[in-house]
Amino acid sequence: QVQLVESGGGSVQTGGSLRLSCAHSGPTFSTYTMGWFRQAPGKERDFVAGSTWSGGRSAYADSVKGRFTISGDSAKNTMFLQMNSLKPEDTAVYYCAVSRWSWGTRKDQYDYWGQGTQVTVSS
């Protein structure tokens, strides 16, 4: 059974940086896609970034391009989301997720989810 545990959330001021981590336990396969989503109060859970474990393919939401970077350390079974130049509109609960077989940006393409970590950006 795959389990995902996020860490690294917190409160920062506008322009600051945070690095989210997601520890992955259980079986892993080269077909896996890792992803990050976020959900602000009263809003849908939206795609933020996704990547194959090899890093050969990646995608970002337009709102975070150039500021966020997704990466993974397969040896440690951990994925990361480096967030720079943070803005108040980045405030949300951030979730990591894994898709066993699909590549995509839709929530329903992902099979396993972490519990979420809060990111708050103040102006």
Kindly write down the DSSP assignment for every residue of 6-34, as one continuous string: EE--EEEETT--EEEEEEEES---TT-EE
Tell me the per-residue pLDDT of 18-35, one tens digit each, with 9 for 90 and over.
999 999 988 776 678 999
Q: In this structure, what token pair is assigned to residue 72? A: 């993974």
d(Cα 25, Cα 1) in Å, to the nearest integer?
A: 8
| Least confident span in 10-14, 30-34, 49-53, 100-104 | 30-34
Q: Give the number of other Cβ atoms within 10 Å of residue 6's Cβ.
A: 22
Buried b (16+ CB within 10 A) or exposed e, 37-53: bbeeeeeebebbbbbbb
pLDDT band at 2 (very low <50, low <70, confident <90, very high): confident
pLDDT band at 74 (very low <50, low <70, confident <90, very high): confident
